[in-house]
Amino acid sequence: MPKQKVSIDFILRQSLRLFREKSYHNTSIADIAEACGLLKGSLYHYFPSKEALMNEVVKYAHAYFKKNVFSIAHNQELTAQEKMEQIFKKSEKSLLSHGDLMANVGVETANKNKEFTENIQTFFEEWIETVKIVFSEIANEEDAQQLAEQTVLEFEGAVMMTRIFKDPKFVHNAYERLINRFAAFSLNPNK
């Protein structure tokens, strides 16, 4: 049966979902193929190895965040508060469903695959940088850095906890806290 059954985009989305849900090692090529309606051998038309596929998935997720989340920091039409709200609302929506690919894979492959690690590091650097840009509107350089780091780490911790407890309250609570803190800080900035 020739006729294209799937697109690369579709494979990446299915892979992303499975890697998030089950982690890298618990997801087999056969699992992904099945989710795509293919046999495992067929996946190798699109990706030369499981690692290469994973790498593309990481890039895909990164690109998604770049376009849909990180870009918000540069939206001139929004107030700083609105930026924060949208950034983490989007993140929450994206991460809540299946967990955070970057964190999972980052931890699972930290000592294994250099390219994974570098891509994931870049992702988090950009995320912190994004939040720092918004904080810079209400805080000085140094404070903005620490506040951004704090905010992203807390949010990441919350995503992890939501995963472990299968309870979205951790991310919800974290969202409320960080938005309130931002509002409070805005009223009494140290800029």
The residues binding a second copy (CB under 8 A) are 21-23, 25-26, 99, 103-104, 106-112, 117, 120-121, 124, 146, 149-150, 152-158, 160-161, 163-166, 170, 173-174, 177
| The pair of three-digit structure tokens given for residue 117, joined into one six-digit string | 């690690």
Binding map of DNA across residues 25-64, x = CB under 7 A, - = no contact: --xxxx-------xxxxx-xxx-xxxx-------------
Nearer to a second copy, 136 or 162 (CB): 162
Beta carbons of 84 and 150 less than 8 angstroms apart: no
Beta carbons of 55 and 45 less than 8 angstroms apart: no
Q: What is the Rg, in whole angstroms, of the alpha carbon atoms belonging to the chain?
A: 18
Minimum distance between the CB of residue 135 and a second copy, rounded to whole angstroms?
Answer: 13
Name the binder of 64 from DNA, a second copy, none, CB < 5-8 A by kind.
none
Beta carbons of 33 and 42 less than 8 angstroms apart: yes
Distinct helix (H) and strand (E) counts, the chain: 9, 0
Nearer to a second copy, 22 or 90 (CB): 22
DSSP 153-179: HHHHHHHHHHHHHT-THHHHHHHHHHH
Nearer to a second copy, 78 or 113 (CB): 113
Beta carbons of 123 and 102 less than 8 angstroms apart: yes
Name the binder of 91 from a second copy, DNA, none, CB < 5-8 A by kind.
none
Minimum distance between the CB of residue 176 and a second copy, rounded to whole angstroms?
Answer: 9
**Residue 48, SS3?**
coil
Asked if 189 touches DNA (CB under 7 A), the answer is no
Nearer to DNA, 4 or 76 (CB): 4
Q: Binding-site residue total for DNA (CB under 7 A)?
A: 22
Nearer to a second copy, 36 or 106 (CB): 106
- The Cα–Cα gap between 165 and 111 comes to 27
